[in-house]
Amino acid sequence: MAALSLSSRADVKPLPGALCRRFAVASTTWAGQAVYINSSGSIAPADAVTFAHAISPGVAVANNNGGTVFAAGDMIDVCVFGPLAGFTGAAEGSFAYPSASTVGVLEDAVASSGNYNYIVGQMHSSTILFINPFTSSFAQLTS
């Protein structure tokens, strides 16, 4: 299992056809991080360790001013469906999963046993992740 590399956090941008939704930030979030929606409707970096944190609807994107780090209370866009640029060296066709070891990081393989495996999207090329969140295990739809 390897982390998906970013060419630059400032390059994490939705491509034509992508759908984004604006969210308030609950805790420090970087462009390119997978996020989850907390109980108050805000977003925070996702991980595969906690059930609620593993269900990631998408990836935080850089803002129009090139901003890549966002503090609690900021409003940011999250790509929730469609093509997202800014990755490098990924294997075309591989899936992107929240990491069990580093919050916000996307990895190209499922987390180890005992963690939650939720797919955020699939690499359409070595640089473009197509966001399309789902789980490959119906047993993991509930905790």
Provide the pLDDT for residue 141: 53
Predicted confidence band of residue 138 (pLDDT cuts 50, 70, 90): low
CATH 1.10.1660 assigned to domain 5-141? The reply is no
Q: Are the beta carbons of 133 and 56 closer than 8 angstroms?
A: yes
Chain segment 15-69, per-residue pLDDT in tens:
999 999 999 999 999 999 999 999 999 999 999 998 888 899 999 999 988 899 9
Token pair for residue 81? 């469906």
**Residues near 51 by Cβ (< 8 Å), separated by ≥ 6?**
116, 140, 143
Predicted TM-score (pTM) above 0.75 = yes
What is the amino acid identity at position 23? F
- Whether residue 136 has pLDDT greater than 70: no
Provide the pLDDT for residue 91: 94
